[in-house]
Every structure is written in structure tokens, then in C-alpha cells.
Structure 1
Amino acid sequence: MLAVNRLHAYGDAEEQITGELAVLLDVFATLPGFLRARAGRCLDEPDVWILLTEWESVGTYRRALSSHAVKTGGHPVFVRIVDEPGAYDVLLAVG
């Protein structure tokens, strides 16, 4: 399953945001079910970023979000996330 989250930078420096994301991704990497992640900045609106993570199942994703390490390490990222649906079931894939 894919978790897609849009974030707002609120004018903060790229180094600050990439540092915050790196901390969260390091925590994710230690958890069962985590497969991979990508983060990037919008080319058209530099204040908008995306965090894309892939998990074995929705259960492993939701358990990860419930862990203390994710809640504490991810707080600087979570306050930036746009409140919208973000969990997707993969129905088609290429490559």
C-alpha cells in the first residue's frame, strides 16, 4: 500500500525540512512492513512537498503510525501534513 502525504514548508529552508524528513524516514526504516520512501518538493510551488511511503499492508502502516518512535520522531513532519486522505491500495503497477 502507498501512503501519500502533502506537506507545507511555510517558508522554512530546504535543509530544515529534509532534516526533519530524514529523521522520520530513519524511524520508518526500522519498523516491520516498511518497504521504501521518497520525499520531494513541488516544482511549481516550492512551499509544497510530498512524502510517499510504501508498506506491506495497511495494517503495518497504521501500526507504524501508532508507534512511540514515529509519534516523537515524526512530529515536526506531521504538523506540516495537509489533512486529506492519504492511504492507497495499489491496483496497477509497472516496473
Structure 2
Amino acid sequence: MIVVTRFQVPEQETEAFVAQAEAAIGVLRQRGGLRSLDFARNLDEQELWTITARWDDVGSYRRALSGIESRSVVVPLLSRAIDEPTAYEDPHLVGPNLARGSVPPFAP
């Protein structure tokens, strides 16, 4: 599973944002199921940043966000993210997006 989280950070907030992001990255790197994590700044629009992480599965990612340390360090950073979907998966592994307990439609 890939999680792409983007941020738009005004120039005057860059130093504080980087410190907050590095602290959150430190917490995430300690979590089970993390395969890789990249922190980057956009080359063309300097206010755009991303944290891109690869996880074993969605459960690993969700567990990484639980616990007091993640809730006090990682979640506040994520609250600054651009409001857009962040989770991606191999298209061969993604089925229909159904509510829990619902029955998938029958194929004709």
C-alpha cells in the first residue's frame, strides 16, 4: 500500500513544518509494516511538500497511526495535509469499495 500525503506550507512556516515532519517521520519509522518513507519538497512550487510511504498493507498503516505517540506527533502533522485521498494500492488487489457487511453485486 502506498500513502501519498501532500502539504502546502507558506514559506514563513517552513522551518516549523520541517521540524514537525521530521518528528512524525521518526515515529513512523519505528512502526511495523513500514517498507519505505520519503520526505520531499516540490522543485517548482516550493510551498508543496510530500511524505510518501509504502506499507505492507492498510492494517499496518492504520496501526502506525494508533497509540499515544502517533496521536500526539503524527496526527497533528496530518491535520495540516491537503484535503485529498492519500491511500493507493495495486489495482489488482483493489476490489469494489463497499460498506462493511454489504454484499457485492452479482456479475451478469
Give CA-to-partner distance per residue, 1:27-76, whole Å, 9 cap, x none. 01111111211011111211111110111111110111223211211244
Between the aligned partners of 1:35 and 1:12, the Cα distance in structure 2 is 32
Structure 1: stretches of 5+ with no match in the other structure = none
Q: Residue 79 of structure 1: CA displacement?
A: 2.8
> Which 4+ stretches in 1 moved above 2 angstroms?
10-18
Amino acid at match of 1:15: E
Residue 51 of structure 2 corresponds to: 51
TM normalised by structure 1 equals 0.82
How many aligned residue pairs are there? 92
Between the aligned partners of 1:12 and 1:78, the Cα distance in structure 2 is 19
Q: Aligned with 2:69: secondary structure?
A: helix
Residue 20 of structure 2 corresponds to: 20
Q: Structure 1 residues 77, 12: closer, same or farther in 2, change over 3 A?
A: farther
Q: Structure 1 residues 18, 90: closer, same or farther in 2, change over 3 A?
A: farther
Calculate percent identity across the aligned residue pairs: 29
Range 45-54 or range 82-91, more displaced: 82-91
Residue 9 of structure 2 corresponds to: 9
**Residue 37 (structure 1) aligned with residue 37 (structure 2):** yes
Larger Rg: 2
Q: Aligned with 1:17: secondary structure?
A: helix
TM normalised by structure 2 equals 0.74
Structure 2: stretches of 5+ with no match in the other structure = 93-108
